[in-house]
Amino acid sequence: MVNKILIVAGTRPEIIKLAPVAHALGKVATLCLVHTGQHREMGAAAWQWFDLQPHYDLDVMEEDQPLSVLLGRLLQALHPVFAAEKPDFVIVQGDTASALAGALAAFYQHIPVAHVEAGLRTFDPTQPFPEEMQRVLISRLASLHFAPTAQARDFLLREGIPDEQVIVAGNTVVDSLKWLLESGKGRLPEPAHKALAQGRRLVAVTAHRRENQGERLPALCESLKSLVARHDVEIIFAVHPNPGVRRPVYALLDNQPGIHLLDPIPYPDFIRLLQACHFIVTDSGGIQEEASMLQKPVILLREVTERPEAEQAGVVKRVSPQTLLEEADRLLDDEVYYVSRCQSPALYGDGNAALRISQGLVVSS
């Protein structure tokens, strides 16, 4: 019987996707929430948006910390927590360093691991880096795998994961997004509100992945400058706090007319921005899912995606920073094409993923 469940999360996306799981499990088991601090400020705020308070804050982040050092600090910080709490299950989500460390630390203490959003694959260990390898490793450590889609389940089975350990639950981001939309929380950022009042169309932009840092990020900034030169659009760029992103973006785009650089936007407000925008430019995985539910086209700044369902449905299209402008112009100028890019069915579930995960954990015991 599952009496105590410990959830490890450290980044904003993890918390957003695990919040509905925490609420569902809190009704049937004793719950312990561990915030690793991988996203210090963004993560702390994310717990609050969903009326949750972590029992532990490990505060592991240091500036310019190598991945190997981060993983070591996470393992060292998690060990005494697991030893003291003695949970029946540890839950991790996705593919972050916090998720890998949570799964590995639990494995070392013979604690079963449940992996939420299991089975996503690009089959290229360098893209996204290091997330692809991290989620593959978590699959070897977990004993219960909650796949968001049937295709993710198939990938796990091909890797030799026993069928009885895999449950297609849907994606918990749908649970969170539905709850948020129904709650009425969030408001449109002021620059976006003003742009719409002036009859401009909005383009929402995010970029944070390692493969887009370096030479690709300046190319993205130049394409965004060309895009606002049309004078009928304005860009809201939510700039990631990573110095490798923030420094070049502000150096190239600060005070650029038509481009508004904002600190990370609170999730409820960010969802209101996605609702209001014409399309989205991003390298995010989770935004592909949110855009699908909101039926907003995504220009994806990646060479591969672990969410092929959204690409097959047409809501996501991969481009390079250099070819972004061509696709953006088409979305702005070709109404028939734009509408075709907005037609996405319920790719990631019905909003009951957290309930299925809760039931799956109870049954597994």
CB atoms < 10 A from the CB of 272, how many?
A: 21
pLDDT at res. 222: 95
Indicate whether 217 and 120 sit together in one domain.
Answer: no
Binning pLDDT at 50, 70 and 90, where does residue 44 land? Answer: confident
Name the burial class of residue 107, with classes exposed (0-12), middle (13-18) and buried (19+) by CB atoms within 10 angstroms of its CB: middle
Q: How far is CA 144 from CA 35, 79, 181, 195, 357, in A?
A: 22, 21, 30, 47, 10
Catalytic-role residue among 40, 79, 201, 210: 210
Catalytic-residue membership of 132: no
Catalytic residue among 57, 131, 289, 306, which?
Answer: 131
For residue 61, what pLDDT is reported?
Answer: 87
Give the model's pLDDT for residue 84: 98
Total domains in the chain come to 2
Res. 215 pLDDT band, cuts 50 70 90: confident
Active site residue 131: yes
In whole angstroms, what is the distance from residue 152 CA to residue 358 CA?
A: 19
> Which of 73, 135, 240, 260 does the annotation list as catalytic?
240
In-domain check, residue 116: yes
User: Residue 144 has what pLDDT?
Assistant: 98
Same domain, 89 and 197: no
Which range has highest mean pLDDT (43-47, 52-56, 361-365)? 52-56
What band does 311 get if pLDDT is binned at 50, 70 and 90?
very high
Total count of residues recorded for the chain: 365
213 lies in the same domain as 162? no
Q: Is 23 a catalytic residue?
A: no
Q: What average pLDDT score do residues 51-63 get?
A: 92
Q: Which residues pair with 114 in a beta bridge?
A: 91, 144
Q: Kindly state whether residue 180 falls inside one of the protein's structural domains.
A: no
In a domain, residue 181? The reply is no
Q: Regarding predicted confidence, which is higher, 244 or 203? A: 203
Query: What pLDDT does 64 receive?
Result: 81
pLDDT band per the 50, 70, 90 thresholds, residue 115:
very high
pLDDT of residue 365: 63
8 A C-beta contact, residue 249 and residue 261: yes
| Catalytic residue list contains 41 | no
Q: What is the phi-psi region of residue 113: left when phi exceeds 0, alpha when psi lies from -120 to 50, beta otherwise?
A: beta
Query: pLDDT for 236-292, tens place per residue?
Result: 999 998 888 999 999 999 999 999 999 999 999 999 999 999 999 999 989 999 999
Q: Are residues 199 and 122 in the same domain?
A: no
Instruction: Report the CATH number that the domain containing residue 207 is assigned in CATH.
Output: 3.40.50.2000
| 137 and 277 fall within a common domain | no
Environment class of 26 (CB within 10 Å of its CB; exposed 0-12, middle 13-18, buried 19+):
middle
Number of helical (H) and strand (E) elements in the chain, helices listed first: 16, 13
Options 12, 208, 302, 341, the catalytic residue: 208
Q: Specify whether 100 is located in the same domain as 121.
A: yes
Give the model's pLDDT for residue 251: 96
CA dihedral (18, 313, 211, 172) in degrees, to 10, reads 0
Q: Specify the pTM.
A: 0.91
In a domain, 177, yes or no: no
Percent of the chain with pLDDT over 70: 99
Residue 122 has pLDDT above 90, yes or no: yes
For residue 190, what pLDDT band results from cuts at 50, 70 and 90?
Answer: very high
Could you tell me if 324 and 360 lie in one domain? no
The domain of 356 spans 4-171+349-364
Q: Which amino acid is at 25?
A: L
pLDDT at 1: 66
Residues 269 and 332 grouped into a single domain: yes
